[in-house]
Chains A and B, each alone.
Chain A
Amino acid sequence: MTETKRFFNPVGKSVPRIDGRGLVTGESKFTYDLKFNGMLVGKMIRSPHPHAKVIRIDTTKAQQLPGVKAVVTARDTNQIKFGSNEYFFPHTVDQLALESEKVRYIGDEIGAIAAETEEIAEAALKLIEVEYEVLPAVFDVFEAIKPGAPQIHAHCRNNIGVILPVNFGNPNRGLRESDYVREDIFYSQAAAHACMETHVCIGQWETYSDKITMWISHQAPFKVREALAKCLKINLNNIRVIKMPSGGGFGGKLEMLPMDFSACLLSKKAGGVPVKMCYSRQEEFSFSRRKHNMHYKLKSGVRKDGKLMAITGEVYADGGAYCSYGPTVMAAATMRIFMVYNLEHLRITGYRVYTNKPISGAIRGFGGVQSGFSIESHMDLLAEGIGMDPVEFRLKNITGPNMVTKNKMIISSNGLKECIEAATEKSGWKQKRGKQRHLARGIGIGIAADVMGSKMYKSHESAGAIIKIEEDCSVYLFTGAADTGQGSNTALSQIAAQELGIGFERISCTAADTEITPFDTGSFASRVTFISGNAALLAARDAKKQILEIVADKHECKAQDLDIVAEEVIVKADGSVLCSFDKAVELCYSFDYGKQIIGRGSYNPKTTPIDFRTGEGNVSGSYGFEAQIVEVEVDTETGKIKILKLWDAHDVGKAINPSSVESQVEGSVVMGLGYTLFEDLEFHNGRVANASFAKYKVPRSGIIPPIETIMIETNDPQGPFGAKGMGEAALLPTAAAIANAIYDAVGIRLKELPFTPDKVIKALEEKQNHNHKDEVE
């Protein structure tokens, strides 16, 4: 077998990354690595106060410093607001490129400076004079919603920026008809994305052509273009956003930062030279985006036979100073329950509250991680209340294939049951559950479901792709999907090669340059393999059709009777070979035909709009499912939790690239472990108190447990070759699975994340005191 033949039919094979060589040799240029003649360095002018009126900004002295080339403030902007959920939630569009009258968190941007060097820019920042009138600030969600609390935004009297009610059935009746009802409150903390590459962009606004070019590390370059166009009042086709190789995103690089607008404004003011802006690590922790810390109050009921009757609850999320992806986060925190549990009665209301803290936004799973922890812990408590095994309880209540949920989500393929069964079998659940307490060891489960895209920020959610076949039979795939490390360039190329019937090596992938590649909403909501993958599939199909039409014309047969398999054009009926792929392409570019092969694909998933007054609607074209089981050991002396092993059974539809699937699961799970055990973005009077890797701990190599990924293939009817997205789901149930395992190990129920040793010790002591009291009584 030759090297080329190895990756015929690449779908389902662990093909190495298409862009991997540049990454392992250090050759790939990331945004910060770019250098241009005359390029300036930009820095943001930030508020030192959590809440204040801006009375006066004087930039004169800074402008006079030698080496300073431009200073911009709100006066240089069009004062047009930007946001992330414009289409359905126009009132949440609440942030200005540069604030003019008021600042709402420590770090709020009121201006920017461009200078020849970083040192000069830093020195100039110190010369900026700003007069503030400091206002009372509020940092706590429950304080912020009290009457008389400082009002952060003029349009929002009680500081509740988003209310998302989900209301179905008759929850009161559901609770009445339950044999066991319980209430629980859970708390999930704030956390940071902590991408290895901090936020970075280079903006150039050419003075004469009025054209903007932006090089950026981003998950949604077309969203960058859209926001620049709107706020800077420029046509879309005069803006070129080039997504560079990006060092992680995880939702943190999904929206605009004032820095992105500022780079362009500074460039224009400095005469059109490029301006590079890059967050330091401290800025990254303090001023980018963060996870919403959430309080989750639940009251639910079950029947003795295990039937889950009703879930009711309230979610309070600390949104920080601006709305960002607030609505999407709240939707994920509430509506997701219907994807997992087959439920008649659900009433849950999400409140997203403004505070004078750094802005909460999208982070892997949106609000699904916080809800996953709360709901899945709560489910174990309900099961315990009726004396039922948590696995058995879940199997009785989960959603299944080919069903419409109470809120009209249309679920086609659904491997949740298979996931639970596979994970319990592989982990030895039956042999271990409740049987290792003498060793302080326990086993716990959590389950989850995820969307494949979410039509929440635009009217459509389409992805486009173009396939161009060159005269030497090499193939271009142009996609607007932004690979920020997840490997989408590779997966989409595998899909295209498979459909074209050619070797994977023939494809080169050009991704996410708004001037060259077709539109794509971006990398979020686990949508790329499913949606952009379908676009790549359609483009390849179109290109193939064009080739086959020419071959059919030449051979006087019908194109629909032909196919390309393993780089040969065959007659479908008998498999006989008409010619090689190379000859077919040669024919297309021959004297007689001279036809360029340019295939196009555009895909928009079949969904229905959500009614945000009730939570009804089919938000995604398909749904993914998983079950996670964790085995832990608790050190009752130190309070340390050791993860012994983790099993993640995942309904991936079809694994386009099994190694990438494993890698997504492992990466997700490790992020989940960090969040569960120690990650905690702390604030002191609105300021991030642990803005460094030394103080904000992320998982290191030492804590990584064995992780077994079990792929369940359900062949989704809508997915490209049956595939679904799966980048986020694996971290949704991790915290609950660990909490449930800790309970199994030592009998303590932790309801507040993260599970640091001090909390474990405290809970163990409380349990001991409680037992002691019981004995005395």
Chain B
Amino acid sequence: MTTLIINKKQYQLELKGHETLLEVLRDHLGLTGTKTSCQDAECCACTVIINGKAVLACITLACDVEGAEILTIEGLARGDELHPLQTAFLEKGAVQCGFCTPGMIMASKALLDRNPQPDQQQIRDALDGNLCRCAGYSKIFEAVSYAAELMRGAQKGKEAHD
């Protein structure tokens, strides 16, 4: 039995050695928000966050991440309350077909968690592997900047409250 910690929940799973995290998320756990697009580490549609780092689920063996903190797109919103990145992607029109969106948001979250105030170049660099074929990227960059603003605002609000 392997223990995986996904979105703060523990799962006890019987895994085969070759099963990727992407397969486990989608096929065993029904967490289909993480998308399958190239299965070869070329498009980053399957980006998840493991111990704070953006990682591609399609080339990560599930048994190798036993005990690690795994965060997927499903773990971002708190109940009805969207994560600022999700709000920003919606409000800034950064979503077209939405297929690359979960990966984009997860890669952006990993960026904002380590750098709350990224400049344009840092956003571009962080998302350089994430392919989007619909939206032309500009609105995605805008959404990430806006989310950073929202998150800083929330943080300040929280500090003031404390």
Contact segment of A144-152, A169-177, A667-675: A667-675
Interface: A510 (CB within 8 A):
no
> How many residues of A are counted as interface, with CB atoms below 8 angstroms from the partner's CB atoms?
57
B47 to nearest A CB, angstroms? 12
A33-B32, A694-B40, A701-B141 known; A23+B130 contact, CB < 8 A: no
Which residues 67-98 of B sit at the A interface, judged by CB distance below 8 A? Answer: 72-74, 76-77, 82, 85-86, 89-93, 95-98
Contact segment of A107-115, A381-389, A484-492: A484-492
A364 to nearest B CB, angstroms? 10
B93 touches A659 (CB 8 A): yes
Q: How far is the CA of A668 from the CA of B101 in the complex (A)?
A: 18
Which residues 89-136 of B sit at the A interface, judged by CB distance below 8 A? Answer: 89-93, 95-102, 105, 123-125, 127-136
B124 touches A26 (CB 8 A): no
A207 to nearest B CB, angstroms? 28
Interface: B63 (CB within 8 A):
no
Interface: A692 (CB within 8 A):
yes
B136 touches A670 (CB 8 A): yes
A14-B93, A25-B73, A281-B38 known; A704+B137 contact, CB < 8 A: yes
Contact segment of A70-78, A84-92, A241-249, A330-338: A241-249
B90 touches A666 (CB 8 A): no
A24 touches B82 (CB 8 A): yes
In the complex, chain A residues whose CB is within 8 Å of the CB of B33:
25-27
Interface: A662 (CB within 8 A):
yes
A487 touches B96 (CB 8 A): yes
A23 touches B137 (CB 8 A): no
A20 touches B90 (CB 8 A): yes
B97 to nearest A CB, angstroms? 3
Q: How far is the CA of A20 from the CA of B39 in the complex (A)?
A: 25
A248 touches B133 (CB 8 A): yes
B72 touches A26 (CB 8 A): yes
Contact segment of A190-198, A222-230, A589-597, A602-610: A190-198
In the complex, chain A residues whose CB is within 8 Å of the CB of B101:
23-24
Interface: A30 (CB within 8 A):
yes
Which residues 21-62 of A sit at the B interface, judged by CB distance below 8 A? Answer: 21-30, 32-33, 35
Partner of B137, one of A194, A486, A701: A701
In the complex, chain A residues whose CB is within 8 Å of the CB of B132:
196
| Nearest opposing residue in chain A for B138, CB measure | A666
B74 touches A667 (CB 8 A): no
In the complex, chain A residues whose CB is within 8 Å of the CB of B66:
none
Q: How far is the CA of A198 from the CA of B93 in the complex (A)?
A: 23
B129 to nearest A CB, angstroms? 8
Partner of A26, one of B32, B43, B134: B32
In the complex, chain B residues whose CB is within 8 Å of the CB of A665:
136
Interface: B145 (CB within 8 A):
no
B43 touches A196 (CB 8 A): yes
A16-B91, A660-B93, A701-B141 known; A26+B131 contact, CB < 8 A: no
B123 to nearest A CB, angstroms? 8
A700 touches B73 (CB 8 A): no
Proximity bits, B141-154, A CB within 8 Å = 1, else 0: 10000000000000
B97 touches A197 (CB 8 A): yes
Interface: A142 (CB within 8 A):
no
| Nearest opposing residue in chain A for B96, CB measure | A485
A25 touches B90 (CB 8 A): no
In the complex, chain A residues whose CB is within 8 Å of the CB of B125:
702
Partner of B135, one of A21, A25, A30, A663: A663
B102 touches A485 (CB 8 A): no
A24-B89, A26-B73 known; A197+B136 contact, CB < 8 A: no
| Nearest opposing residue in chain B for A483, CB measure | B97
A26-B74, A702-B128, A707-B138 known; A196+B100 contact, CB < 8 A: yes
A24 touches B86 (CB 8 A): yes
A391 to nearest B CB, angstroms? 25
Q: How far is the CA of A127 from the CA of B102 in the complex (A)?
A: 39
Q: How far is the CA of A248 from the CA of B134 in the complex (A)?
A: 7
A321 to nearest B CB, angstroms? 25
B95 touches A196 (CB 8 A): no
In the complex, chain B residues whose CB is within 8 Å of the CB of A261:
none
A663 touches B97 (CB 8 A): no
Which residues 679-707 of A sit at the B interface, judged by CB distance below 8 A? Answer: 692-694, 698-702, 704, 706-707
In the complex, chain B residues whose CB is within 8 Å of the CB of A248:
96-97, 99, 133-134
In the complex, chain B residues whose CB is within 8 Å of the CB of A485:
96-99, 134
B82 touches A21 (CB 8 A): yes
Proximity bits, A249-270, B CB within 8 Å = 1, else 0: 0100000000000000000000
Q: How far is the CA of A706 from the CA of B136 in the complex (A)?
A: 11
Q: How far is the CA of A275 from the CA of B92 in the complex (A)?
A: 38
B128 touches A669 (CB 8 A): no
| Nearest opposing residue in chain B for A22, CB measure | B98
A99 to nearest B CB, angstroms? 28
In the complex, chain B residues whose CB is within 8 Å of the CB of A195:
97, 99, 133
Interface: B30 (CB within 8 A):
yes
B99 touches A197 (CB 8 A): yes
In the complex, chain B residues whose CB is within 8 Å of the CB of A560:
none
Interface: A17 (CB within 8 A):
yes
B73 touches A247 (CB 8 A): no
In the complex, chain B residues whose CB is within 8 Å of the CB of A484:
97
Which residues 461-495 of A sit at the B interface, judged by CB distance below 8 A? Answer: 484-487
Partner of B37, one of A198, A487, A704, A707: A198
Q: How far is the CA of A627 from the CA of B123 in the complex (A)?
A: 30
In the complex, chain A residues whose CB is within 8 Å of the CB of B32:
26, 29-30, 32-33
Q: How far is the CA of A433 from the CA of B125 in the complex (A)?
A: 32
Q: How far is the CA of A292 from the CA of B37 in the complex (A)?
A: 24
In the complex, chain A residues whose CB is within 8 Å of the CB of B20:
none
A35-B30, A195-B133 known; A21+B90 contact, CB < 8 A: yes
Interface: A280 (CB within 8 A):
yes
B96 to nearest A CB, angstroms? 4
In the complex, chain A residues whose CB is within 8 Å of the CB of B98:
19-20, 22-24, 28, 245, 247, 485
B131 touches A698 (CB 8 A): yes
A707 touches B136 (CB 8 A): yes
B86 touches A196 (CB 8 A): no
B37 touches A700 (CB 8 A): no
A196-B132, A670-B136, A692-B38 known; A17+B90 contact, CB < 8 A: yes
Interface: B64 (CB within 8 A):
no
In the complex, chain A residues whose CB is within 8 Å of the CB of B136:
663, 665-671, 704, 707
Q: List 29 A-B contacts (CB under 8 A).
A: A17-B90, A17-B93, A17-B95, A19-B98, A20-B89, A24-B89, A24-B95, A25-B76, A26-B34, A30-B99, A195-B97, A196-B131, A196-B133, A196-B134, A197-B97, A248-B97, A281-B38, A281-B42, A485-B134, A663-B93, A663-B139, A666-B135, A669-B136, A692-B42, A693-B38, A701-B137, A702-B125, A702-B128, A707-B138
What 4 pairs across the A-B complex have the smallest Cβ distances? A26-B33, A485-B97, A23-B98, A247-B99
Not counting A35-B30, A195-B97, a sample of 16 additional A-B residue pairs whose C-beta atoms are within 8 angstroms of each other reads: A14-B93, A20-B90, A20-B95, A24-B82, A24-B105, A25-B74, A25-B77, A196-B45, A196-B100, A197-B97, A247-B97, A485-B97, A662-B93, A662-B139, A663-B93, A707-B138
